[in-house]
């Protein structure tokens, strides 16, 4: 609801962005930067990678748990998040990729 209402309520959008989106993006980007420095991941643009991962998760939840509803095949939220995590880590953040 917050996503859809934020399109029409600028105050809600600003509050959601400042209290949820920006802190989450910053924490993810910081984590990715630390992993890159430690040599466990290779992330050329941690801020963009964090935004992309957040958008993938949000879009997936909104589409398949909201708009489309419970349509087959059925996957648990944990299966969905795990799959996105593996896809993202194995393609965008894998150590040794360019």
Tokens of 15: 């509050």
Q: What is the pLDDT of residue 95?
A: 59
DSSP state for residue 93 in the 8-state scheme: S
Task: Name the 3-class secondary structure at 83.
Answer: helix
CA distance 89 to 98: 13
pTM above 0.85, yes or no: no
In sequence order, which ranges of the chain are alpha helices (DSSP H)? 2-6, 10-16, 22-38, 46-61, 77-91
> What pLDDT, in 10s, does the model give residues 7-60?
898 999 999 999 999 999 999 999 999 988 998 888 888 999 999 889 888 887
Task: Say how far residue 79 (Cα) sits from the centre of its chain.
Answer: 15
Identify the residue with better confidence: 93 or 12: 12
- Look at residue 98 in the predicted model and tell me its pLDDT: 46
């Amino acid at each position: 609801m917050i996503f859809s209402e934020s399109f029409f309520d600028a105050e809600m959008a600003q509050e959601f962005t400042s209290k949820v989106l920006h802190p989450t993006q910053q924490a993810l980007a910081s984590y990715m930067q630390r992993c890159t420095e430690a040599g466990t991941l290779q992330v050329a643009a941690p801020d963009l990678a964090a935004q992309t991962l957040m958008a993938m998760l949000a879009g997936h939840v909104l589409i398949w748990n909201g708009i489309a509803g419970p349509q087959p095949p059925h996957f648990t939220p944990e299966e969905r998040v795990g799959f996105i995590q593996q896809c993202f880590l194995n393609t965008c953040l894998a150590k040794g990729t360019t």
